[in-house]
A and B are shown apart, each in its own frame.
Chain A
Amino acid sequence: MSINETQDAIIEEFSEFEDWMDKYQLLIDTGNSLEPLDEQFKQTQYLIEGCQSRVWLHADYIDGKVVFKAESDAVIVKGIVMLLIQVMSDRTPQEILDTDLYFIDKIGLKDHLSPTRANGLVSMVRQIRNYALAYKLKEN
Chain B
Amino acid sequence: MEDFIRDIRAEFPILSTKVYGKDLIYFDNGATTQKPRRVVERIVSGYYTTNSNIHRGVHYLSQRATEAHENARERVRRFLNAPQASEIIFTRGTTEAINLVAFSFGEAFCQEGDEIVVSVMEHHSNIVPWQMLCERKKMKLKVIPMSDQGELLLDAFQSLLTPKVKLVAITHVSNVLGTINPVGEMIQKAHAAGIPVLVDGAQSVPHLKIDVQALDADFYAFSAHKIYGPVGIGVLYGKSDLLNRMPPYQGGGEMIEQVHFEKTTYNVLPYKFEAGTPDFIGSTALAEALDFVDEIGLDRISNYEHQLLTYAIEEMKKIDGMRLIGTAADKSAVISFLLGSIHPFDVGTLLDHLGIAVRTGHHCAQPLIDRLGIDGTVRASFGIYNTPEEVDVMIKALNRIKSMF
For the residues of B in contact with A, the DSSP-based class is mixed
CB of A89 within 8 A of chain B? no
Write the nearest CB–CB distance from A83 to chain B, whole angstroms: 15
Find out whether the CB atom of A52 lies under 8 angstroms from the CB atom of B345. Answer: yes
Task: Please judge, given known A-B contacts A21-B354, A28-B404, whether A74 and B343 are in contact too, CB under 8 Å.
Answer: yes
CB of A7 within 8 A of chain B? no
Find out whether the CB atom of A76 lies under 8 angstroms from the CB atom of B349. Answer: yes
- Contact residues, B327-378 vs A (CB, 8 A): 342-346, 348-350, 353-354, 360-362, 375-376
Write the nearest CB–CB distance from A98 to chain B, whole angstroms: 31
CB of B48 within 8 A of chain A? no
Find out whether the CB atom of B342 lies under 8 angstroms from the CB atom of A75. Answer: yes
Taking residues whose C-beta sits less than 8 angstroms from the other chain, chain A's interface range is: 10 to 19
Across-interface contacts of B362 in A (CB, < 8 A): 51
- Contact residues, A40-55 vs B (CB, 8 A): 51-53
Complex Cα distance A28/B362, Å? 23
For A31, the closest partner residue in chain B by CB is B346
Write the nearest CB–CB distance from A140 to chain B, whole angstroms: 39
Task: Please judge, given known A-B contacts A21-B353, A52-B360, A52-B361, whether A73 and B404 are in contact too, CB under 8 Å.
Answer: no
Find out whether the CB atom of A73 lies under 8 angstroms from the CB atom of B361. Answer: no
Task: Please judge, given known A-B contacts A28-B404, A28-B405, A51-B361, whether A75 and B343 are in contact too, CB under 8 Å.
Answer: yes
Partner of A24, one of B343, B353, B361, B375: B353
Across-interface contacts of A132 in B (CB, < 8 A): none
- Contact residues, A99-140 vs B (CB, 8 A): 119
Partner of B343, one of A20, A21, A51, A73: A73
Find out whether the CB atom of A24 lies under 8 angstroms from the CB atom of B404. Answer: yes
Binary contact readout B28-49 vs A (1 if CB under 8 angstroms, 0 otherwise): 0000000000000000000000
Partner of A74, one of B345, B354, B404: B345
Across-interface contacts of B20 in A (CB, < 8 A): 20
Complex Cα distance A77/B346, Å? 8
Across-interface contacts of A28 in B (CB, < 8 A): 346, 404-405
Find out whether the CB atom of B375 lies under 8 angstroms from the CB atom of A73. Answer: yes
Find out whether the CB atom of A53 lies under 8 angstroms from the CB atom of B404. Answer: no
CB of A25 within 8 A of chain B? yes
- Contact residues, B284-305 vs A (CB, 8 A): none
Complex Cα distance A77/B361, Å? 14
Write the nearest CB–CB distance from A116 to chain B, whole angstroms: 13
Task: Please judge, given known A-B contacts A74-B345, A119-B345, whether A24 and B350 are in contact too, CB under 8 Å.
Answer: yes
Across-interface contacts of B343 in A (CB, < 8 A): 53, 73-75
Complex Cα distance A24/B12, Å? 31
Task: Please judge, given known A-B contacts A28-B405, A51-B361, whether A76 and B345 are in contact too, CB under 8 Å.
Answer: yes
For A25, the closest partner residue in chain B by CB is B404
Complex Cα distance A73/B376, Å? 12
Find out whether the CB atom of A75 lies under 8 angstroms from the CB atom of B346. Answer: yes
Further contacts, 18 of them, CB under 8 A, given A20-B20, A51-B362, A52-B344 = A21-B350, A21-B353, A21-B400, A21-B404, A24-B350, A24-B404, A25-B404, A28-B405, A32-B405, A53-B343, A74-B346, A75-B343, A75-B346, A76-B346, A76-B350, A77-B345, A77-B346, A119-B345
A-B contact pairs, 20 of them (CB 8 A): A20-B353, A21-B350, A21-B354, A24-B349, A24-B350, A28-B404, A28-B405, A51-B361, A52-B344, A52-B345, A52-B361, A52-B376, A53-B343, A53-B345, A73-B343, A74-B346, A75-B343, A76-B346, A77-B345, A77-B346
Closest 10 CB pairs of A and B: A74-B343, A74-B345, A20-B353, A53-B345, A52-B345, A76-B346, A52-B361, A74-B346, A75-B346, A76-B349
